[in-house]
Structure 1
């Protein structure tokens, strides 16, 4: 990160995934991995953001909303057993998915 030009991107490709390292500020680094993107495309904006980051930012609302709702309405309890933590999270996500489906089916 030291000495990297501002708004520079470094791409790494494998058969199944692409990783980009983007430098938005001095001495800061943003890493994004994608299995959907297969080429090094940059935006034409002034900050030259990679298309992977723009796609992520435009679709991240679903995960943020899930985290917000499951934090407010959760069945989780304090436990030291990791299997119960996974079970509680599965119940929370399943309940939210059922709510989303129900609201789509019963639109007014």
Structure 2
């Protein structure tokens, strides 16, 4: 199992998730088989996984720069389904009310 984790979720390791992380750095905590990773790229990303141990992998960006990413983030991005993509795209274009008809949104 692998997925993103909300910061305000009950049962999170608060001390770890409240720490400041610089760009490109990662912190993690492991309890039993559960691994929680906080990594910062443009924003803070929190990943929870039962199938990964913390491991940073060197990747090459589109522009040819090398940077380190956690293996769990790479696997999550590779296997993201359509629902996760749709939620991500909808978050960029939020509307004030989701229940009104589309033509009323234009007038608002």
**TM-score, with length taken from structure 2:** 0.50
Larger RCO, structures 1/2 (Cα 8 Å, 6+ apart): 2
Normalized per residue, the structure richer in strand is 2
Q: Which structure has the bigger radius of gyration?
A: 1
Higher helix share goes to which structure?
A: 1
TM-score, normalised relative to structure 1: 0.50
